[in-house]
């Protein structure tokens, strides 16, 4: 491929990629991490096409199949190949809809077969141990230590009560802790809002935490926390507690509760929230709404819980179960 032609092809691919990423940001509210991931996947695809003297604008279905085969030869996991294919499908669907391609070469492609692992979760007993450990506070401890303990207890109670994503949890506004609040409005993926109910345990943990937060402000003769718009303020760049900080605190709490640190994470508690609801009779569609899943297929990873509940119902309630 001549140097000038290669440069033209690269510029053409970059223009189409930019248009696609701009659409994701403007129309779907894609966040920075999502855009970076899509950009990286499409750039890898473009590099492969360039080696074959093809481009995003003129690649056909066989070119796409060749790329997927190359990914497999590189030893990429099926989940990674499926993610790359999803990005390519969305790219060509966009180009076709915008009239930038007269066809969609990705429409007939099938992704790699992959089994979906069951989500890691905790039993109700294990969650109870975590909650009891989080609520244990030495009243004679320094105020800073008592505040950290109350914050972790509030985070944990709120997470288990709502099933929020950790990014949604740490970025809760101060308004979420209103005394009369029975639900909180959460801004999730794609900038979409949903309402999630709060239970009494979470509201009480919030009240205790806010009382200590106000006490810390008075002791420091400052209103730094009081003026923050975040429920879990921090002096870091984001202005609120980071996901990583909460995850570290949670693992330390797990060890103190007699659990393995590797077994506990914010996402595991989100899974526990969903699994325990379904086990106790909640509808799958309700759980989908509470978790903020756009597609029911995402929530269906919990169908094993429903299957176990149905088996137990038949075992416990069917008149011939013990015959």
Q: Compute the distance between CA of residue 234 and CA of residue 241 in angstroms, rounded to an integer.
A: 5
Q: Compute the distance between CA of residue 90 and CA of residue 38 in angstroms, rounded to an integer.
A: 10
Active site residue 83: no
10, 187, 267, 279: which is the annotated catalytic residue?
267
Contact 30, 191 (CB under 8 A): no
38, 160, 209, 302: which is the annotated catalytic residue?
302
State the Cα angle at 247 between 208 and 141, rounded to 5°. Answer: 40
Q: Compute the distance between CA of residue 125 and CA of residue 69 in angstroms, rounded to an integer.
A: 46
Active site residue 267: yes
* C-alpha closest to that of 16 among 38, 33, 48: 38
Active site residue 302: yes
Task: Write the CA distances from 120 to 115, 116, 243, 308, integer angstroms.
Answer: 15, 12, 19, 16
State whether residue 268 is helix, strand or coil.
helix
Contact 63, 52 (CB under 8 A): yes
Contact 170, 246 (CB under 8 A): yes
54, 84, 146, 270: which is the annotated catalytic residue?
270
189, 245, 251, 279: which is the annotated catalytic residue?
189
10, 187, 251, 293: which is the annotated catalytic residue?
293
129, 165, 203, 276: which is the annotated catalytic residue?
165
Task: Write the CA distances from 63 to 18, 59, 77, 105, 318, integer angstroms.
Answer: 21, 6, 20, 9, 57
Contact 171, 184 (CB under 8 A): no
Residues designated as active site: 165, 189, 267, 270, 293, 302
């Amino acid at each position: 491929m001549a140097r000038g032609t290669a440069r033209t092809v690269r510029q053409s691919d970059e223009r189409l990629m930019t248009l696609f990423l701009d659409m994701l940001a403007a129309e779907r509210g894609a966040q920075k991490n999502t855009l970076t991931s899509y950009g990286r996947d499409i750039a890898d695809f473009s590099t492969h096409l360039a080696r074959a003297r093809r481009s995003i604008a003129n690649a056909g279905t066989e070119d796409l199949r060749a790329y997927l085969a190359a990914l497999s030869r590189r030893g990429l996991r099926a989940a990674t190949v499926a993610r790359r294919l999803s990005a390519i499908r969305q790219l060509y669907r966009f180009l076709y809809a915008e009239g930038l391609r007269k066809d969609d070469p990705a429409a007939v492609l099938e992704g790699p077969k992959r089994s979906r692992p069951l989500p890691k979760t905790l039993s109700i007993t294990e969650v109870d141990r975590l909650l009891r450990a989080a609520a244990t506070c030495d009243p004679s401890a320094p105020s800073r230590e008592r505040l950290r303990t109350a914050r972790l207890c509030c985070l944990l109670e709120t997470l288990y009560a709502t099933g929020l994503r950790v990014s949604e949890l740490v970025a809760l506004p101060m308004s979420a802790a209103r005394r009369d609040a029975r639900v909180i409005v959460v801004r999730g993926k794609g900038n979409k809002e949903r309402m999630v109910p709060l239970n009494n345990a979470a509201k009480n943990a919030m009240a205790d935490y806010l009382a200590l937060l106000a006490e810390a402000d008075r002791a420091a003769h400052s209103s730094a926390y009081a003026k923050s718009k975040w429920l879990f303020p921090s002096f870091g760049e984001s202005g609120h507690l980071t996901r990583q900080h909460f995850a570290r605190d949670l693992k330390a709490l797990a060890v103190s509760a007699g659990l393995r640190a590797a077994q506990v994470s914010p996402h595991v508690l989100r899974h526990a929230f969903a699994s325990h609801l379904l086990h106790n009779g909640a509808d799958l569609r309700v759980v989908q709404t509470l978790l903020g899943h756009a597609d029911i297929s995402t929530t269906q990873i919990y169908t094993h819980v429903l299957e176990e509940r149905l088996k137990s119902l038949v075992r416990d309630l069917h008149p011939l179960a013990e015959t």
